[in-house]
Amino acid sequence: QGLLDLRRIAHLVVDNCQITGSGKNGLALEHASGRIERSEISGAADAGIYSVEADGLEISGNSVSDCANGGILVHRWQAAEDGTIVSGNRVERIQARGGGTGQNGNGINAFRA
């Protein structure tokens, strides 16, 4: 799902990293809590950061750019409390190459969260 595909991590820390050129998502997270901060994510063929079913994730102070279908996506399979905080990020040049009716091309997207 991503260049970094991380699942069921209780205390994730991604700090001051550069993630570029992923063939899918830059970071793909499932059931993760912790923080992603001060990192540069660019050139993903899908989204820069894709999180599903998080529990108190903090995404702050990152630069997300030049991704094909989304910048920062925070999703849940069922509507419920997620606790993710997205703040102070720079998101630019996000495209909607996958087309659709609005699910692609969002800088920041929260779905059911």
99 φψ region: left (φ > 0), alpha (ψ -120 to 50), beta (else): left
Question: 46-55, 66-75, 100-109: lowest mean pLDDT where?
Answer: 100-109
- pLDDT averaged over the chain? 95
Q: Which residues contact 14 (CB under 8 A, 6 or more apart)?
A: 4, 27, 35, 36, 37, 39
Beta strands in 38-89 (DSSP E): 40-42, 47-52, 57-60, 63-65, 70-75, 85-87
pLDDT at 99: 86
Q: What is the pLDDT of residues 69-106, one digit of tens each?
A: 999 999 999 988 889 999 999 999 999 998 877 788 89
Supply the pTM of this predicted model.
0.94
